[in-house]
Structure 1
Amino acid sequence: MTSISMAGTGSGLVLTASWQDTVPATLTVRAPGQGDGATPERPLVEVLTSRHGRDWAGPRYVATSVGQRLRYRSHELTSSGSWQTLSLTQTDAVTGLDVTSYLSIHDEHLAVRSWTSLYNNASEPVTLHAVSSLMFGDFGAADIDQMYLLRGRSDWLAEGRWSRERLRDAGLPDLTTPGRPFRTRGCIEASSLSSWPTAQELPTAVIGDDSTGTHWSFQIEHNGGWLWQVGEVPDGLYLALFGPTDEHHGWQLELLPGATFESVPVSLAIEGDGTLDAITGFRRASRAPGGGPGLPVVFNDYMNTVMGDPSADVLHPLIDAAADSGAEYFVIDAGWYADNGDWWDAVGEWQPSTRRFPGGIGEVLEHIRRRGMVPGLWLEPEVVGTNSPMALKLPDAAFLQRGGERVTEHGRYHLDFSSVQAVDHLNEVVDRLVNDLGVGYFKFDYNIRAGVGSDSVAASAGHGLLRHNLAYLAWIDSLRQRHPQLMLENCASGGMRQDFATVSRFDLQSTSDQEDLYAYAPIAASAPMLILPEQAANWAYPQPDMTDDAIAFTLCTAILGRLYLSGWLDKLSDDQRLMVAAAVRAHRELRDSIPHCLPFWPTGLPRWTDQWISLGLRDVGGDALYLTVWRRDTEPGQVDLTLPPAPDGMRWDYPSAVFPVESPLRIEGEPSGGTLRIVDVRGSHAARVVKLRSVPVE
């Protein structure tokens, strides 16, 4: 057997690809201390075509005919800064496909990013139905009976609901029978639907082995169709990661002679016991630089406030109140372009309303700047309302189409960003708003889906959607290059598009449209499972009719992330305004630490109805822990928060209050034993943020 390896100089990760003349290449990925172990028999790549399917019928994406026939051809190792990439090419002699696997690691992180490129080196076309981005089977000596799957689901207003289940209970029954070969057709799988990649099942999950304490997290980095499968094979377990497929997303592609296709990227990380440190660090290392330094406080006029009905009269006092609270950006959300409130199916031209702003919207934006804040606007770039002037001005070629008709949903047409006309239109809009009005922030929303996709310029609707999805990401990249000072927020009806491919290109992510401050707690607590803590824009919307505990609750929800402020601040009492200003100051004092923090969950990932909810951030560059604790009950109670170990020779000191200083949630006992007790003496809906520092052991 021949092999080639890469090693992370700081992480100690070792990635090895092995091959023989008679079998396809395989992959091992090992963290320090995992040992050598046996090389798994899983082929590195699986490919389905119209004429070459599976060697064993069923829904599983293993044992494909092409994957079994692949043979090593060449490889190359390259490096760029802290990144190393192995490209390994195999050939299928029957179809003439040259299949190149790209495996990329960062020196400091226990993770690998993978994608696959196909080149048709034959004289006949090959129709593709599925191409794996990563096939992984290197789970060592793990006992499937002791392994679990942590997976998540989302819904509008109920994002990030995670559940843990043993693999045997989740869908892998033990079918081992003495004296008979192992056979199964089933597996555990999850896939997306249409162009909301995180609206139902989530493209991130964790496989863990309780017997060894080893865990593997993974993510599919695509803003459209994706599929993951976990299944059992005779020599253990396999993980299959795909972008769109024919069976799940209506995707197929006729790859012509001399043509190339590239799959979507995916990442796999090796985690410590109960942490997401590796994938979190890898996400940070993979992100493009944002639109500005730091984590500025953003006020947005929408949530439980203006609700899409802005005007100069309403906004002027809000601008003053937001500035007084310490906000640094002020965003005018939906409705600024419409003369009345019935604007849903008329969007797309993005010209400011003169009825809402008699003196021009520029006068309101200038007021924002005079108060020391950067002005921002809401935009939904991928849609044109069916009653918008742009619906007539733009040709059909600018839109996704099925059977010669524009894709329509909820009163909107869906633009196709693979068309020059759509991109030119949006470039004109953004350039006008930035250059003429001085807009420094955009909230990009996405409130409809694209269906299966578009067949107007592609052989399959699924491939038309893939073309659009990739073109949208390329448009964001080009926008960054033209306007590097812009701050960009991603939103898709809250959290319906929180995939890494999209989120990595934005400064912050609106985590939900949830209007109930108490229901927001589990959403905010689980957000770092999908996105970085410094990107998690959790709404805080204090109102004049709220109790002090309720105001503290909603403000605490946002402090350990991006403080995304809303609410009728101009109508608050003086004492309520002081509370808001105190929360903003507390956030600003710790926000520089958040991009250096790793998340943990002292009471476990929250369930939707939990009474106690918690989120912790551990500052790996310093000596601090930050904890947010939410309580949702009417009876007294207490909870013990499990803390990560303090650095060697150190212990956690007694916590200090970050916000609020006074709270129904009391801290009892010393945290030196690895837990911190929080007591609710009266039964409360309350929240609190606290900080712990490490001090030398005496």
Structure 2
Amino acid sequence: MPQISCAPDAALWLISTPHTSYAVRIDSGGAPCHVAWGGRLTLDEAAEIAARQPPVDREISSFEGRPPVGDELPVDGGARYGVPSLQVRFADGTRAVEWEPAGHDIREIPGGASELDLNFHDRHYPLDIGLHYRVYDDSDVIERWTTLRNTGTDDIVLLRADSAAWTLPPRADYRLSHVTGQWAAETQLGRETLPFGETVLTSRRGIPSHHANPWVMLDGGDASEDHGQVWSAALAWSGSWRITAQRTASDGRAGFTGGAGHDSTTLRLGPGRTHTTPRFAGLHTEGGFGAASRAWHAYIRAHVLPHPGEIRPVLYNSWEATGFDFDEKRQLALAARAAELGAELYVMDDGWFGARRADRAGLGDWTPSPDRFPEGLTPLADEVHRLGMLFGLWVEPEMVNADSDLYRAHPDWVLHFPHRTRTELRNQLVLNFARDDVADWAYGWLTALVADNGIDFLKWDMNRSFSEVGPAGPEGDDRLWSRYVHNLYRVTDRLRADHPRLRIEACSGGGGRVDLGILSRTDQAWPSDNTDAADRIAIQHGYSQLYPASTMAAWVTDVPNELTARTVPLAFRFHVATAGVLAVGGDLARWSQEELAEAAGFVDAYKQVRHLVQHGVQHRLRAPVDDGPTVVQYTSPDRAEVLVLAWQRAPRRGRPELPVHLAGLEPGAVYRDVATGVSHHATVLTGHGLPLELPPGDWASTAIHLRRVSD
């Protein structure tokens, strides 16, 4: 079990996970302060570290103030000049917070978890503050969140309410790792020295966005894929967010604070109301960035995903085959070919409803087009099921076209400002899910659609960012930003409760909405609209820094690729897609019998190893950093099987093809190549490497499946 212990005389608490410890204390002024976060400590050892920290009432320079990093939840007030995690404005205009301890609670949670609550009041004003921590017996991840309760009779304005702040120990240098990008080029991994001062990562778009993702990793500048300490944290929130990393020259420390909302959103906390922030989970690991990723993957599978033990089916999606130009007959023909290919889930994409003939009309009118499906969707769903596949649909519940019956009936349902132009992006407007009537409308047609048509799977898309987020609600604040996300969660939670067999893929024009919050309510995510296999290598590399392969949909589509016009071999496309949840999105009606037979072989090969990809332990053996091969390894939890995937764009003349050193094997074991029958000693594979023997020429790739030889 995880351990949470307390030294009351020292006002010190120690939270211990299987491999790490986290310590917090209350200083002489009553404020919660960070003590340590790293390797395992005893309570006495944590007390020694706490004793080294100067008292809050020590004399400080008039130009320095309280250190900007080190408070457990930095607030306005006193000589604090760092980034506040909590900013409030009371009814009389006062903005500072002064802490008064109000006790703590430690409890065991069924299922192997423990929680710590540290409770506080403001010294004068009617505000209760709770700092909350949860740990699990099988993970080093620490979940943190904050609750704020108005115990008075006047409103309190929350100018900023972060979930948590994290403090790192002094280091000579610090490096920040995160992902950036854009539509069709998401999750591009970047690592750069953390500058002194403040570095802000954020999304103001109403979604986590394609341009960043709500997680950070920090190290001392010396970590590699396999060595070094890494501190990281990820936010479970599917709307706008902000994470601010800080580095101070005064004491060599770094830290970061993060939460929902961006720099101009406020909430009004009415009398008796409680605000609970989303969870901001943190992790310390030894063993470099690879160890950090593997720990996050294990945590997400064990404590985030709703059905982590399932094997995700091979999916076929009709979009790139048909676009908007299709009818029931064409869908039936594609379904027959998809079944022959070995697909287990058939998904009909955009264009099946209302007057949808292009992206200019029909969104919001979620009934089957009578000219395309004269008897509704039931005949197609029944035939897909008869072919032995599950049946899925593309939906975009949060959007509406101005050219739709829904908008003509309810123009007030979209995000808008009075007397201001309603901005259309991709010819669509955003429905105001913060309104309960809009959310209830969406839930109503979704649950009926699933029930009436035997729907097994929904690809839930969301194809634009917010604009004109207003008018303000009755509270006179910016509550719409958060209420929208909570109602989105409420709709998906109700829908899944109604239909326990329903599975959902999160999509937002690609990877615009991937985070721990949405993954707790969906089964997989669409990382990018870019299906070019060459581009996907970098996208998947960045995605894997935090999220497991079992959540990553990966498509094989036609060439030349419709986005990049690049042509790569079918084997290369399949080997890249094998690194996630395999799907096919090409126009099967145009594939030759030879191509179909080759593809069916790759689908069958994937089914032999997908348990390793989706449930195994991932090692990134070689990153996509140059013209050499990119190599990824997946190993079963019992180390009995190994899959090695390698891709190389173009070999460089004169460059030797070096063997790749495997990781995480059973010491002393022997592994046999399933395809060739050649045996390898584990010691040789790890110490001397495995020859990849890539095929000659450009766009070479391989998949090597090894099984441990029984004694």
* Residue 211 (structure 2) pairs with residue 207 (structure 1): no
Change beyond 3 A, Cα 1:104–1:576: same
SS in 2 for 1:363: helix
* Residue 571 (structure 2) pairs with residue 552 (structure 1): yes
Equivalence for 1:16: 23
Q: Which amino acid aligns with 1:269?
A: L
Equivalence for 1:5: 14
* Residue 522 (structure 2) pairs with residue 497 (structure 1): no
Equivalence for 1:73: 102
Contact 1:540-1:565 within 8 A present in 2 as well: yes
**Whole-Å Cα distance in 1 between the matches of residues 446 and 39 of structure 2?**
45
Q: 1:297 aligns with which of 310, 314, 322?
A: 314
SS in 2 for 1:534: helix
**Whole-Å Cα distance in 2 between the matches of residues 66 and 671 of structure 1?**
61
**Whole-Å Cα distance in 2 between the matches of residues 159 and 471 of structure 1?**
26
Aligned residue runs from structure 1 range 105-254, under 5 A: 105-137=135-167, 139-140=168-169, 142-145=170-173, 147-167=174-194, 171-172=195-196, 186-209=197-220, 210=222, 213-233=228-248, 234-245=250-261, 248-254=262-268
**Whole-Å Cα distance in 2 between the matches of residues 342 and 24 of structure 1?**
58
Deviates more, 1:333-342 or 1:477-486: 333-342
* Residue 101 (structure 2) pairs with residue 101 (structure 1): no
* Residue 465 (structure 2) pairs with residue 449 (structure 1): yes
**Whole-Å Cα distance in 1 between the matches of residues 299 and 586 of structure 2?**
35
The Cα shift of 1:439 comes to: 1.4
The Cα shift of 1:359 comes to: 5.0
Contact 1:625-1:692 within 8 A present in 2 as well: yes
Aligned residue runs from structure 1 range 26-105, under 5 A: 26-27=33-34, 28-32=36-40, 36=46, 38-39=49-50, 42-47=70-75, 55-57=79-81, 69-80=98-109, 81-105=111-135
SS in 2 for 1:526: helix
Contact 1:271-1:277 within 8 A present in 2 as well: no
Equivalence for 1:628: 645
Q: 1:255 aligns with which of 230, 250, 269?
A: 269
Equivalence for 1:574: 593
The Cα shift of 1:165 comes to: 1.9
**Whole-Å Cα distance in 2 between the matches of residues 641 and 462 of structure 1?**
56
Change beyond 3 A, Cα 1:61–1:45: closer
**Whole-Å Cα distance in 2 between the matches of residues 334 and 385 of structure 1?**
14
Deviates more, 1:230-239 or 1:200-209: 230-239
Q: Which amino acid aligns with 1:557?
A: V
Contact 1:97-1:122 within 8 A present in 2 as well: yes
Identical positions, percent: 22
**Whole-Å Cα distance in 2 between the matches of residues 62 and 475 of structure 1?**
30
Q: Which amino acid aligns with 1:252?
A: T
When the two structures are superposed, what TM-score results if normalisation uses the length of structure 2?
A: 0.85
**Whole-Å Cα distance in 1 between the matches of residues 472 and 659 of structure 2?**
55
Contact 1:232-1:238 within 8 A present in 2 as well: yes
Say which structure is richer in strand. Answer: 1
SS in 2 for 1:450: coil
Aligned residue runs from structure 1 range 581-596, under 5 A: 581-596=600-615
**Whole-Å Cα distance in 1 between the matches of residues 130 and 41 of structure 2?**
30
Contact 1:525-1:615 within 8 A present in 2 as well: no
Equivalence for 1:561: 580
SS in 2 for 1:593: helix
Contact 2:639-2:664 within 8 A present in 1 as well: no
When the two structures are superposed, what TM-score results if normalisation uses the length of structure 1?
A: 0.86
Contact 2:559-2:567 within 8 A present in 1 as well: no
The Cα shift of 1:328 comes to: 0.9
The Cα shift of 1:673 comes to: 1.5
**Whole-Å Cα distance in 1 between the matches of residues 468 and 164 of structure 2?**
24
Equivalence for 2:417: 402
Contact 1:132-1:240 within 8 A present in 2 as well: no
The Cα shift of 1:315 comes to: 1.7
Contact 2:145-2:279 within 8 A present in 1 as well: yes
Equivalence for 1:264: 278
**Whole-Å Cα distance in 2 between the matches of residues 129 and 216 of structure 1?**
28
Contact 1:24-1:68 within 8 A present in 2 as well: no
SS in 2 for 1:676: coil
SS in 2 for 1:427: helix
Aligned residue runs from structure 1 range 508-519, under 5 A: 508-519=524-535
**Whole-Å Cα distance in 1 between the matches of residues 120 and 83 of structure 2?**
25
SS in 2 for 1:417: coil
**Whole-Å Cα distance in 1 between the matches of residues 385 and 399 of structure 2?**
29
SS in 2 for 1:202: coil
Measured against aligned partners, the alpha-carbon deviations of 1:100-159 in whole angstroms (never above 9, x if no partner) come to: 01111111111101111111234443221112211121x34x5232x3221111211111
Equivalence for 2:66: none
Contact 2:22-2:38 within 8 A present in 1 as well: yes
**Whole-Å Cα distance in 2 between the matches of residues 408 and 291 of structure 1?**
39
SS in 1 for 2:287: coil
SS in 2 for 1:592: helix
SS in 2 for 1:443: strand
Gaps of 5+ in 2: 1-9, 54-68, 89-93, 678-682
Deviates more, 1:34-43 or 1:203-212: 34-43
**Whole-Å Cα distance in 2 between the matches of residues 457 and 643 of structure 1?**
58
**Whole-Å Cα distance in 2 between the matches of residues 2 and 61 of structure 1?**
22
SS in 2 for 1:525: helix
Contact 2:179-2:542 within 8 A present in 1 as well: no
**Whole-Å Cα distance in 1 between the matches of residues 476 and 646 of structure 2?**
49
The Cα shift of 1:13 comes to: 3.5
Equivalence for 1:649: 667
Gaps of 5+ in 1: 173-185, 662-668
Change beyond 3 A, Cα 1:385–1:89: same
Contact 2:553-2:580 within 8 A present in 1 as well: yes
**Whole-Å Cα distance in 2 between the matches of residues 133 and 597 of structure 1?**
31
Q: Which amino acid aligns with 1:194?
A: R
The Cα shift of 1:357 comes to: 3.0
**Whole-Å Cα distance in 2 between the matches of residues 63 and 337 of structure 1?**
47
The Cα shift of 1:195 comes to: 1.7
- How many residues align? The count is 657
Deviates more, 1:439-448 or 1:29-38: 29-38
The Cα shift of 1:581 comes to: 1.2
**Whole-Å Cα distance in 2 between the matches of residues 468 and 133 of structure 1?**
18
CA RMSD of aligned residues (A): 3.2
The Cα shift of 1:492 comes to: 0.5
Measured against aligned partners, the alpha-carbon deviations of 1:55-95 in whole angstroms (never above 9, x if no partner) come to: 45576759999787323211111222211111111222143
